[in-house]
Amino acid sequence: MAEKSKVAIFISGRGSNMAALLYAAKLPEAAYEVVLVAANDPKAEGLTLAAAEGIDTFALSHKGMQRAEHDAAMEQAARGAGAEYIVLAGYMRILTDEFAKRWEGRMLNIHPSLLPRYPGLDTHQRAIDAGDSHGGVSVHLVTPELDAGEVLGQMRVAIREGETADSLAERIRFAEHQLYPRVLNDYLGRENDPQFLLDKVRELALALPQTHERESHGSPGWRAGSEKSGKYFAYFNDQHHGSEHIAVLVKTGSMDELLDLVEAQPQAYFKPAYYGASGWIGVILNRPGLDWDHVADWLERSWRSVAPKSATKLIDAAEQF
């Protein structure tokens, strides 16, 4: 089994979601372990539970502190504990943009509404007032914009006759406790799931103009140009030739560039067997917080180096807008 991802949980209060996450981490199929529970309120109830379960805790009141300063201290605690992911569970603080950006793709939040409906506060009352048939809960990636990152999973919760915000909140809590550990687990699992990674690369490669897929030596590959005379710009590489990586191979500009990248960022790049000799680099996909925009940039660059002029002109025109 792959190594477990290390997760820090940030809370502000009761920490019932934290408890759900913590106990789910004890199940055999858990893809993560909790390395820290941190709170912006030293009195947060969840802290004592975490400590009783033998989890490291950290607490620092935000009162009298600058936002950036408090964020930095929380972040430092998470890093110090070796966290690769931050999971917000009822953390009632708005984070600085910089903090959110630094953890993009590696920070999740749970929000008690069916996003994009009702970001912000008072979600239950707003759903009841609007006459909605259901409230619910969403787990999403955190981006600088409040409650607006990619939704990873949702669960609907029926609103009954005469429902109050409190009664609805209480029931939604049950749904939260089911949803959060599951979505977190799936999210972490997918970064090692070859099928998920292949589907993503395929989507990005085929989004470029005049491309098609063709197998090469048993691996999926993508070509630019016509079916007849097209040229490869990417290959999918699933732990081939003894490599532990799942990767996409793309063309670099030169052998020097390839070797420099591999030396400077061995966690992100490697020189693949056979292909490496002709300037193809392996961009590693099965790693925490992979930036898919970066993969898309590599694919486009590699595609540009072989694509017909008619096709690159198309994309140049599109990129002007």
Instruction: Return the active site residues.
Output: 111
What's the Cα-to-Cα distance from 93 to each of 41, 121, 278, rounded to whole Å? Answer: 11, 12, 50
Comparison of 15 and 149: residue with beta carbon closer to ligand GRF: 15
Q: By CB under 6 A, is residue 15 in contact with ligand GRF? A: yes
Comparison of 165 and 315: residue with beta carbon closer to ligand GRF: 165
Task: Tell how many helices (H) and how many strands (E) occur in the chain.
Answer: 10, 13
Interacting residue with ligand GRF among 37, 41, 78, 90 (CB under 6 A): 90
Q: By CB under 6 A, is residue 156 in contact with ligand GRF? A: no
- Among the listed residues 219, 158, 151, 161, the one whose alpha carbon sits nearest the alpha carbon of residue 187: 151
Residue-level length of the chain: 321
Q: By CB under 6 A, is residue 21 in contact with ligand GRF? A: no
Whole-angstrom Cα distance, residue 91 to residue 285?
A: 30
CB atoms within 10 A of CB 122: 12
CB-based burial of residue 210 (10 Å sphere; 0-12 exposed, 13-18 middle, 19+ buried)?
A: middle
Q: By CB under 6 A, is residue 136 in contact with ligand GRF? A: no
Total of residues contacting ligand GRF (CB under 6 A): 13
Interacting residue with ligand GRF among 34, 100, 105, 111 (CB under 6 A): 111
Interacting stretch for ligand GRF, rule CB under 6 A, among 6-14, 34-42, 50-58, 255-263? 6-14
| Residue 245 half-sphere exposure toward CB, CA atoms < 13 A | 20
Interacting residue with ligand GRF among 89, 283, 285, 295 (CB under 6 A): 89
The one-character DSSP state at 81 is T
Interacting stretch for ligand GRF, rule CB under 6 A, among 2-10, 11-19, 197-205, 276-284? 11-19
Least distance from ligand GRF to the Cβ atom of residue 157, Å? 11
Helix %, strand %, coil % for the chain, to 5?
40, 25, 35
Interacting residue with ligand GRF among 7, 8, 9, 17 (CB under 6 A): 17
- The residue at minimum Cβ distance from ligand GRF is 90
Interacting residue with ligand GRF among 71, 75, 147, 176 (CB under 6 A): 176
Q: Is the peptide bond before 116 cis (omega within 30 degrees of 0)?
A: yes
Name the residues that contact ligand GRF, by CB under 6 A. Answer: 11, 13-18, 89-90, 110-112, 176
